[in-house]
Amino acid sequence: MTETTHTPPPQPGTPEVQFAAHALRGLRQDLMHDAFAYRPLPPADLGGALVRRLPARLRERARWLPHASVVAAGLLAMAVSFGGTTGGSGSLELLYALLAVGPVLLTLVRPVGAFWISLAAAPITVMFAAQWDEWPWSPGSFACHLIVVTVVALRTRPRTAAWMWLLTAVYSLGADTVLGANYYNSNSGPLLVVTALALLAVAVRHTRREARQEVTAERTVTAHERSRRTLLEERTTIARELHDVVAHHMSVVAIQAEAAPYRVENPPPELERAFATIRENAVAALTELRRVLGVVRAEDYEAPDAPQPTLADLDGLLANVRDAGLTVTKTVTGAVRELPPGVELSAYRIVQEALSNTLRHAPGAAARVEVAYVLGGLGLRVVNDPMPAASLVKPSPGAGHGITGMRERVTMLNGEMTAGPTDEGGYEVAVFLPVAAVREEEA
């Protein structure tokens, strides 16, 4: 019997090694990758609280206040550098001054590169310092590096500021250990403490700004949600009022239509049939209204379980509109088959709305309904003739919501629809509903 031992695959490294590798990647990303990229300092925001209090003629110039502050800080570093140079030639004093002011001014356009130049200029300027007991930062380099680190921290993220402070500490402590034995005092500690305090103030500023931005974003979202909730409440109120008012009037119409034949002695059958049709339509409309708008009456409202109409109920719809006085014919082509419920309901509603438009806008005109079961979908075509000139019923104007509702149904099913007048003076609605796409979505 042979026993096989499975050795686990080697790990990429210990957690300490992984942490160090992650830290080095952060260092390369923050301070080494594209370090001298051109990043100009943007103008100040004119919407700030301080800028808004300035006079109008000074408000535009206040946009350049950050740039002026950096230039003033660079001049201050240059002034400090002149007080710490040796009594050498003027060219050395000029070089010392340029090494103090140059990195500060460079933060306006290349902030990360300015940090590296300031750090590299520190060992050069210390050789020309007058106070040889101060090591490893000369007075000009001390002021320059403090300003550069602060400005760069203001323009970058906190992790970059931490890396700058760490590299500054490495240089300072390394210079003290390797080359600082012959000097009386080291100013590495004061620089690191002052720099840490400056970076702490910058971090607090960043935190406050981010918190202010988050609060502003939350307030914007809250205001939007409050506005949306108010709009929904208004729509709910309108829907409730519409339900109450229309339901009341439709109930009155149904009752009056039922009672009207009894108020006439020996009414003709046509009149009784007309009033019966009016009552049936009023009751059907009232039921539909309660089903659709009743949901806004209460949160625990449950819609009735009555089945939704389909294309199988199309004959009943056509009989209904015929009783209302519309002459309509129906033509079905293709193999009749069962379609998805959404397609069946939308097709029924589209035909219903198209015939209702015919009754409203072209009373007395004849209409044709064509249903085509084709490969991959369902085709509908509802077309009406022009309204006869001798019609006693005038067309009723509408807001055009019927066509909009039909388009919304067609768009929901990824279909196509065209609607417009015909060459003969009538109106045509043509719709194609893709059945295969709907089945894929429902699956």
Checking if the pLDDT of 159 tops 70, the result is yes
Structure tokens at 403: 């066509």
Q: For 198-243, what is each residue's pLDDT tens digit?
A: 999 999 988 898 898 889 888 888 888 887 887 777 667 666 666 6
- The length of the chain is 443
Q: Cβ neighbours of residue 169 under 8 Å, at least 6 residues apart? A: 188, 192
Helix extents (H) in 107-187: 111-125, 139-155, 158-178
Q: Cβ neighbours of residue 189 under 8 Å, at least 6 residues apart? A: none
CA atoms within 13 A on the CB side of 372: 15
Distances from the Cα of 7 to the Cα of 4, 11, 15, 118, angstroms: 10, 12, 20, 52
* Across 314-328, average pLDDT: 88
Residue 443's pLDDT is: 41
Task: Report the interhelical angle of 111-125 vs 158-178 (nearest 10°).
Answer: 10
Which has the higher per-residue pLDDT, 394 or 198? 198
Structure tokens at 179: 């080359």
Whether residue 267 has a cis bond before it, omega within 30° of 0: no
Residue 438's pLDDT is: 39
Among 10-19, 174-183, 309-318, the range scoring the smallest mean pLDDT is 10-19
Closest CA to 369 of 348, 391, 396: 348
CB 353 within 8 A of CB 402: yes
Checking if the pLDDT of 426 tops 60, the result is yes
Distances from the Cα of 70 to the Cα of 75, 94, 111, 139, 148, angstroms: 9, 20, 12, 18, 9
Percent of the chain residues past pLDDT 70, beyond the cut: 77
CB 134 within 8 A of CB 85: no
**Three-class SS state of 85:** strand
Residue 350's pLDDT is: 92
Q: For 279-305, what is each residue's pLDDT tens digit?
A: 788 777 777 776 666 555 555 545 455
Q: For 112-124, what is each residue's pLDDT tens digit?
A: 999 999 999 988 8
Q: Cβ neighbours of residue 293 under 8 Å, at least 6 residues apart? A: 239, 240, 242, 243
Closest CA to 341 of 442, 202, 206, 234: 442
Residue 393's pLDDT band (cuts 50, 70, 90): low
* Triad 409, 414, 417: Cα angle to 5°: 65
* Across 296-324, average pLDDT: 73
Q: Report the 10 Å Cβ neighbour count for 273.
A: 13
Q: Which helix (H) or strand (E) holds 11?
A: none
Q: Cβ neighbours of residue 226 under 8 Å, at least 6 residues apart? A: none
Q: Which of 107-116, 132-141, 249-258, 269-278 has the highest mean pLDDT?
A: 107-116
* Across 329-335, average pLDDT: 94
